Copies of this chain bind each other. A is one copy, B any other.
Amino acid sequence: MALKRELVISEIYKAAREWLYDNDYLELITPRVVRASGACENVNTLYTVSANGDSNWYGNTAYLSQTGQLFLEAHVPALKRVFCDGPSFRAEGTVDARHLTEFRMIEIELATNFDGLLDQIQGFISHLVSHIIYVNQSKNLGLSEERIRELKTCPRVFSQITYDDAIAKLQAFGIKINWGDDLKHTHEALLSVAYENQPIFITRFPDPMWDHGKQIEVEKFFNMSPDKEHPGRVLSCDCILPYSGEAVGSAERIADVETMLARLQNSRMFKRLVEMGGSVDDFGWYADQLRSHGSVPHAGCGFGMSRITQFILGEHDIRNAVSFPSNRATLI
């Protein structure tokens, strides 16, 4: 029986929502045309939006959102567990098997700590995998028996390795990599294979806002909590999946407005934003929200749904995991 990709994708989203509702998440509809508060760590890949040829139509530069994170964070104190579900846009020029200029992301934010966050991530992914295994036959999804057999070996609790240990392990494999370097796709793939080709968590990345005595390559969103037990690290976690690589980025967040603003203004992202004509005003509404309503300890993540789909399908090319692949060469 042939694989029916659109059926699989639809079942994955259905299972995702089922999990979100069963785990008491409320859906927020977050805006997708925004100021720079909708950026991830890299403002260079922001699209700008114009109306009638005017890129200042809104009175400020308008960007396409890469994340709804801050919009979700603003509602955590009142609602406890929230999610959003929509397109994430990245002006990535590379046309290959790994990059899309637009992909669907489901993001969650909740009042919890770092360990609680990791529980949510592995719970979500495990539920999707279980659901597809369960309905593959009854709904005629067409996943091969071999792929179903492989998916059945996916653990419910994922192996964890710190960034520091990951670097040491890669060096032991003979890879030329230094502490502070970014983990490339090939590095992630090697680590995943080292853990029986299963999903893994890489945790506690270097804090770019810490004085390491040298410039480091790792960039992380400014709004991550420093790890008190491991100075110079942040409480962040990437989930690496077989086939697709980094499919989830996550962290415990900053809850204090002054710390948030100080870290923002210390970030490399902010320097680039200022060069682009932006300022701390781009984050003004969020700072105001924290000042007027405060916050609570919380954490969250973004599930890259196309990469999760790619993993479930066992596809080497992400373009085979979406119905309408978007990249610089294929605008329809």
Q: Which residues of A contact B (CB under 8 A)?
A: 6-7, 9-10, 13-14, 17, 21, 26-35, 37, 45, 47-53, 55, 57-60, 62, 64, 71, 75, 78-79, 85-87, 89, 91, 93, 101-102, 104, 285, 305, 322-324, 326, 328-329, 331-332
Contacts and interface: CB of A to CB of B under 8 A. Distances in A.
Question: Majority SS of interface residues in chain A?
Answer: mixed
B31 A324 contact: yes
A79 B6 contact: yes
A10 B72 CA distance: 13
A89 B10 CA distance: 24
Tally of this chain's copies: 2
A7 B26 contact: yes
Nearest to A50: B48
Contact of A48 (B28, B32, B49): B49
A93 to B, nearest CB: 8
A30 B280 CA distance: 34
A169 to B, nearest CB: 36
Contacts of A87: 31-32, 86-87
A328 B57 contact: yes
Contacts of A31: 87, 102, 324, 326, 332
